[in-house]
Amino acid sequence: MFEDDEKIIEFIPKYPHTLPQDWVDVNCPTILEIVATLDTLKKMYADQVRDLNQGRVETELGEENLRNIATNYQSIKAILFEPR
């Protein structure tokens, strides 16, 4: 199917627990790294909402965490739409 191994995408065992510090090249992330990071942030957001609703986290701290996660999500998502 493939003539050489260069066309095979390497399996990333950390997915979907990928953050920008896990990227191979922080200045030029791959689409897979960006998507994995977005999925990680979505999971973090959902977990934080669950913890907040169940009273595991103080309301003020939980809401601040949600704002930070949402801001990071928007910043990472903006990478996909940067003019090249």
Amino acid symbol at 5: D
Inter-residue contact 65 to 57 (CB < 8 Å): yes
**pTM of whole model > 0.85?**
no
The answer to whether position 1 is within a domain reads: no
The answer to whether position 40 is within a domain reads: yes
The answer to whether position 37 is within a domain reads: yes
Residues 13-27 have pLDDT tens digits of 566 688 888 888 988
The answer to whether position 7 is within a domain reads: no
Residue 78: CB atoms within 10 A of its CB come to 9
Domain count, the chain: 1
Query: Can you give the length of the chain in residues?
Result: 84
Domain that holds residue 57: 13-80
DSSP per residue, 8-37 = SPPP-TTTTS--GGG-SSTTS--HHHHHHH
Give the residue-averaged pLDDT of 29-40. 90
The answer to whether position 52 is within a domain reads: yes
